[in-house]
Each structure stands twice: as C-alpha cells, then as structure tokens.
Chain A
C-alpha cells in the first residue's frame, strides 16, 4: 500500500510539473498577449511597448516559466496580468466556492446513485431496472450546457421560482444562500448522476451474483438488509467511479458557473484564457487539475481499502473500472 501510494503521489507530482509547463507554453503561444488586450485600440506603440515591458512579456518564455516555477515552489503563484492581483489571493477567494458547488453536487449524486443503483442492480432486467437504465442513458446523452440552459428556462424564467444568477452578498459564503446554489448544483447533479448510477448498477448487478450474496440470500437475508450489508460492500470499488465522475464535474463546472454567474474557478478560467492572463490560467488550471488528480487518487485508495478481501482480484477489477473514465 505504501509503495502504491508513493508511486501514485510521485506520478501526480510529475504530472503537475508537466502540466504547468504545457499550460504556460500553450497560453504563451496564443496570438496576442495581455499587454495587447490591456492597451486597447487607442494606445500608442510606445505605450504598448512599455506595458509589455512592465508585465515582463519582453523576456523569453522559458525564462519567464522558470521564474514562475521558482516562485510557485515558494508559494507565490505570480500576479494577474490583468490588474496585478496576486493569483494566490484570487484563487483563495474562488476555490472554496467551486469546491462547495461540486462537493454538494457529488454528495447528492452519491446518495441518488446508491439508491437507484441498488434498486436497478438488484432487479436486473426487471421494469425498475429498465426505467432507471433508460433514465441514466438519457442523462448521459445531455451535455452540461443543455441541462443548464433547460433548467434556466424552466425554473428561472418560466416559473421564476429560483434565482437565475448566483449573487452572493459580500463577505458571505454560497452555503449561506442555498437558493443560489440550487440550479447550479442541479445542473451538475443531472450531468453526473447518470454515469454514477450506471457504474453502481453494474457493480451491484455483478455483486448480486457473487457467492457471498447468494449465500446470504439463501440464509434468508432480504430487502434493504441484504442490500446494505452484503451487496453494497461487494460493490464498493464503484466508489472509484464516483471519483471519476467528480473529476469530470470539476471541468463541467466551467460551463455551469459561467451560465449562472457563480463565483468559482471555472468561470474565471475562461476569462483568463481570453485575456491571455498566463499566471491565472496556470494557477487556476493547475488547481482544477490538481484537485481532479487528488480526487482520483482518493477514489483509488478508498476503493482499494474497501476491497481488502480480494486485493489480487481487485487489481484487474480496478483496471477494468479505469476504462470508464
């Protein structure tokens, strides 16, 4: 286990290093730069050059990257080219909100997927299974932007029941204003619940045929007790599937946050790319990717721990699950 952990953490760090270089170079390679965006149409050539120099954009890209890397290792993520705010500070004000959004959605998904997955998996092939499966297939087919647009149209415009824009009063956290969270969370929930339910249903269906569950069934276990005590533990590796879903939702939040004006990382990232704000793309992009890596690692660890009984068998099983990502 320790070896596994070390290898995984090492790989994650190597990936992050590689990503940071790739992101930096990619942002830098975009036509135009932050100085051009900031200067606007009415600036003189001299003013442009001065701005470029002030933002350090006249230095070679490798030099700038190394400087950024050195600083970031000491915890300084650089400053936004747009207005000079420290990226760390920007990230601090945004990251929590995004985590809250995704975490709430994932919590809802976990509950719904467990219930639906058990319902369908234990009655494999029967009407309830077909209903759940059709539902999940339909949800799988819907991209986030359609879900969010539809929710907006129905609940915010049509019915006027819920706020269409997530406006969080100054100094408050989004969790103090649950009504602002409903629609963004619902969009992400619907986007993720399909895949998670399918993963769980499949794991449950397999587990339901295992000798252990068969044994329990024969000894008279029925209903929720059978599901809870025998089937669910056997299906535990599906927790990995939830991790995969979570990682996907982190990216999906980019669209959802933008549509609902939710003050998170995703909406900021899109702005930063448009502005050629390299330091912000770096900081925010790496934060998203890093979180995704962490979630995946946790998923692997938890499912590995839960599946202690058949470690050797699970190795291939886990690998099998990986393809679901």
Chain B
C-alpha cells in the first residue's frame, strides 16, 4: 500500500504554490479549435483523490483533487504563466497594477462576471475571497496572499476595483495572487453543490472519494469549447488508475507512475503527456547543517558530485524528468540557466570527502513515497554514496508520513522532500544562509527589474556553490489519456476545460 495514499496525500504540498490549471481559455494565446460535433461530450478524468475525506471546501481539502475541482468550479484570479511578461495570465481579474514603490496593488475584476445564482461578481466578493482563507481557517497553502499583503487594510475602490496594500514592499505579488486564489461569493461559509460559483463548470453531483460530476457553466466568460460534462473520478492507487484507462473506464488519468507511463507510451491507443518546465516539482535531498559533517562545505559538494543524475532521469523516470542543478524553480523567469551543470564525478567526490576527513562517514537518508520516484531516487542516491565510501542507509517512511511530524522532519540529518512548481524568491525559506536571505529580499523588493534579476542570480550562484540541497531532478506530473482526447493543456495540473474528445 505504499501506493495506497501516496497520491492522495500529495495533496497539500503539490497544490501549495500551484500554478495549477489555468482554465483560462479566454486568455490563452491560441484560440481553441471548434469542437468536433454537436453531441454532448463527457470527459472522465481520474485523479488520486483523498478518499471520503474529500470536500468541496477547498480551503481545508486535503488532496490535490479538491483543488483541481475547485479550480473548475470557482474562477481563479489568474494562473502562473511564465510565457506572459508579468509571469501570470489573468482569469477573473482584468488587471493587476502595482504602485511604483511596490507597497500597494490594484486589482480590477473583469466585466460581466456573474455567479451561478445570477448575481454579478463585485469588489465585495473579491475582498471576501481574499480574506476567506484566513477567516475560514484554510490550510496554509491557501493563505499565501495573507503572508505578503495586509488584508485588513484592503479597500474597495469601486464596484470592480480593490486596493490591496502589501505587508512590506514586494515585486512578485502577482505570483502570490495568482497561485491559489479563487473567487467566491461574499459571505460563503458552506460549500455544497448548490453554493453559488463563477467558474467554468458547475457541480451536478459529488460523492467524496468516488466521483464529481461537473456540467459546463453556460454563463462562463470563456469560449466554452470544453466537454459538456467532466466526471472527476477518485482512484487512489496509481496502478488502479492506469487500469481504469486501459479498461476504458477513464479517458484521462493524472499521476501515472514512471514505468506505467513508459509502457503506456509504447502501446497504441494511448498518449502520455508530462508537464514541462516550469511545471515541474523539484525533488530535493536536504543536508541538515546541524549535522556535523554537513557543516563542511566540501562534504556537501562531495555528496552533490556523487549523485548520478542522468541515471536517475533514465532509470527512475525513463527520461520523463528534467536534470537538476541543485537550484530550485527551473523554468521560471528568474531561474539562472547560465550556471554550469553539475556532473557525476565520484572521483572528485571521494577526494573531497577524504580532504574533509569524513571518508567512511555514516548517514541515514529519509524518504517516503510522496512524489513519484522519490523512494527510487533515494535508493539510487544511497547506492551512489556507497560508491564514494559513505556508509549510507535509507529509511523509507510509509505514504503520508514524511511531513506528518514536521518538527521531527526538520531534525533529520539527510532527508528527501519536494516543492511543487513555484518561483524561487517567494518560496525561499530564510535562516540557513544569511547572505542568500539578503539577496532574495533584494530580489523581491528592489524597484528596478534588472537589480532584482541580478540579486536573484547571485543568490542562486551562492546556493549552487555552497547550498545544502541536492536537486538531482525536476519531476513532472505525468498524465496519460486515450488518443481520442486532445486539447489538454499541461500546466502544474492538467487543464481539462479546453479538452476535446473525438467519438470512438
């Protein structure tokens, strides 16, 4: 059952800084092709789900599916989109303007946006939506905006405009606003299929842990070429999801294990799609600086050189992953791709380890099946470390357990972890390298864009040289679907709203 709940509990983290599905057909660069026929289409899409704990209240929903569903039902403010100059494409919002001194943001709602009960979406609704994560005691990942902005001081300017002061000057507030913020109606506290919503789809039926039936919202502002109905199926086991696809019980399955993806890709009738940068989670192995040997920069470098990244990409992910360079946030605009790629060099690693006087050191690597391939990669890394003379052992935790006791997790000497796709600066956790912290602060708040980029690159350079993370690979969410299905956009999570299903 290592598979059992693995994807289910991916939940929180995976959505955390989610760029998630854009669902922004109206704003997408390419106009969607007209749909094939007039017959009603139903798309059956399977996700890991969260068992009977699934909920329509996405603020407290534990699984990624809860948020995928919410993005289809409630209009998102926008989505992270590195192709756009601002780094985001907008949804329910028409514009986000930033004051020159980076202390205040002005949000403007798009015109003629209405809830399913017919009432217009107003700035009061927007204000409520911004504050709802805090007021409704949402899980931490829903409360990103509250960390960067002073929500209590937010003001309504007119029927469609809200002024939102920052807590301290930030340049990347657009990213925060568009990561996980959805629009709900003022005063909403309960979430049921009848709760008014303004997203591309409306809820027809919902049974936690089994199925959600969604019907297209006729009043949605987008061009509405998507399926008439979307059935979101909850199938917790990854192999069972693939079985559902093979048995024609689903048209689309999310979160396919690397090996199944490989074999499906070779079969006819199926297509496999993997997210591309920046929609990749970073798989990281953190060396705790409280652990004596890791205080020596040479030991950290030795560990990084010991890892055979290409072997991880080939063996664990069958090529469906991007090689990592120990710096997070690949594919985001500020990612420094000019850094030299770190290669596998066991000889140099052995030399460094000996020079530091730590050859033969023992270390315990802790990992869990929280991201596809995490345990497998950890297994290979342990083998790699043994090759350079480290007495490495692997501790595998059952699914869902890695982060369950976070205090204990932070004490681990050498632990696996992952971060969902998110820009580096806004998600940087300060406290380890003060110099990097200062640079990141500059990268977030300097008035000039060039200054910000420069500071960010210098911070990444430092992390590349001395950091305590090994990031061997960036891992996509791998999805598979029948070849009759097209038009699924691959963002952090699949965007199904523009999918087209040819008749069998």
Query: Which positions in A face B, CB cutoff 8 Å?
Result: 31-33, 36-44, 47-48, 50-51, 54, 80, 82-85, 90, 93-94, 152, 156-157, 160, 163-165, 167-171, 255, 258-261, 263, 267-268, 270-272, 274-277, 280
Contact = CB atoms under 8 A, between A and B. Distances in A.
Contact of B8 (A84, A94, A271): A271
Contacts of B143: 47
A275 B235 contact: no
Given A271-B5, A275-B5, A164 B244 contact: yes
Interface string B287-314: 0000000000000000000000000000
Interface in B114-146: 137, 139-141, 143
Contact of A41 (B61, B139, B247, B419): B419
A32 B140 contact: no
Given A82-B53, A84-B57, A167-B244, A37 B417 contact: no
Contacts of B50: 82-83, 271
B39 interface: no
B417 A41 contact: yes
A82 B50 CA distance: 9
Q: A-B pairs with the 4 shortest C-beta distances?
A: A32-B404, A32-B405, A43-B140, A164-B243
Nearest to A277: B53
6 contacts: A31-B405, A36-B403, A44-B140, A51-B137, A160-B247, A267-B4
A170 B213 contact: yes
Interface stretch (B77-85, B91-99, B202-210, B387-395): B202-210
Interface stretch (B9-17, B216-224, B335-343, B473-481): B9-17
A34 to B, nearest CB: 8
Interface of B: 1, 4-5, 8-9, 11-13, 16-17, 50-55, 57, 60-62, 66, 137, 139-141, 143, 147, 205-211, 213, 233, 235-237, 240-241, 243-244, 246-247, 249-250, 398-401, 403-409, 417-419, 427
Contact of B60 (A43, A83, A156, A169): A83
Contact of A163 (B51, B57, B249, B406): B249
Contacts of A275: 5, 9, 53, 62, 400
B403 A164 contact: no
A105 B355 CA distance: 66
Contacts of A168: 210-211
Given A42-B141, A171-B207, A274-B4, A261 B235 contact: yes
Given A85-B53, A271-B4, A274-B398, 7 more contacts: A33-B405, A43-B139, A83-B50, A167-B233, A270-B5, A271-B8, A277-B53
Contact of A167 (B4, B208, B249): B249
Contacts of A268: 51-52, 209
Contacts of A271: 4-5, 8, 50-51, 53, 236
B236 A267 contact: yes
B139 A38 contact: yes
A142 B351 CA distance: 52
B62 A82 contact: yes
Nearest to A93: B52
B140 A83 contact: no
A313 B366 CA distance: 59
Contacts of B11: 40
Nearest to A47: B140
A16 to B, nearest CB: 22
A268 B4 CA distance: 10
Contacts of A270: 1, 4-5
A306 to B, nearest CB: 39
A124 to B, nearest CB: 42
B237 A261 contact: yes
Contacts of A40: 11-13, 16, 139-141, 403
A182 to B, nearest CB: 13
B5 A170 contact: no
Nearest to B3: A258
A265 to B, nearest CB: 10
A239 B140 CA distance: 54
Contacts of B418: 41
A178 to B, nearest CB: 15
B401 to A, nearest CB: 7
Nearest to A54: B137
B210 A38 contact: no
A263 B211 CA distance: 11
Contacts of A94: 52, 209
Contacts of B401: 31-32, 274
A165 B240 contact: yes
A51 B59 CA distance: 12
A2 to B, nearest CB: 40
B429 to A, nearest CB: 8
B44 to A, nearest CB: 9
A167 B46 CA distance: 10
Given A54-B137, A90-B53, A260-B240, A170 B205 contact: yes
